[in-house]
Amino acid sequence: MRRGRVFRSDHLAALTPADLATLQTLPIRHSIDFRGLNESAALPYDIAGVTRLAMAIEPTVVQRLRALAASGQVPSRDETVALMCDTYRDFVHKHGPTFGRFFSHLLQHPTPVVFHCSAGKDRTGFAAALLLSALGVDRDTIMQDYLLTNQLYRRNPLVEGSGPAHVMEVVWQVQPAFLQAAFDVIERNYGGLSSYLAGPVGLAAEVREQLHHSLLEPDQ
């Protein structure tokens, strides 16, 4: 990929002056915000020179966990993993058009962009995996990139909330099973990546080729 074109992040609402100075050097002109309405309202940001584009994907796993807590149920670790896998399947089934808008923006505005959600690991992690897949990156490399979250993400009480330790540990890390659940659905229900991109995402073959020219180095 062309260096310095696309950046993945967690939320941008708590940047220090040093962070903002770094952002200006990149130079980021747009941010794509995958957070839900309540999340973005709770932690808003306004960065000079950066236009924020809302592409809301509501955090369904949080809603499901709250519903379980309200009924007095505490999911086991395995049940929490299953909830996370369901969340990734929902990304595929329910939000293809949203990711289509994401791709369209990358083509229409060939300037450095950052995309994020609250933690930068699930909605944003899947968006990154889908983008790399569309560009022809092999699945092992995509998974390695995805799992870097567990090394680089610093857990943040501003966004995490509270809950049983075993549940929070699952929710605020990533596992290969989460992303694999999404890829399995793409293969099983949509006939593979190309069909999914051309169908729900709306990325026609010629547009995908434009994306290659825009984001890949010429020798790729």
pLDDT mean across residues, the chain: 92
Dihedral sign from CA coordinates of 119, 99, 144, 12: negative
Which residue in this structure is represented by tokens 């941010």?
31
In angstroms, the Cα distances linking 190 to 55, 99, 103, 128, 211 are 23, 16, 19, 19, 21
Q: 41-45, 155-159, 182-186 — which is least confidently predicted?
A: 155-159
pLDDT of res. 13: 93
Domains of the chain: 6-214 (3.90.190.10)
The pTM (predicted TM-score) of the whole model is: 0.93
- 3-class DSSP state of 70: helix
pLDDT at 220 over 50: no
* Residue 50: closest CA among 78, 25, 74, 69: 25
pLDDT in tens, 34-79: 999 999 999 999 999 999 999 999 988 878 887 887 788 888 999 9
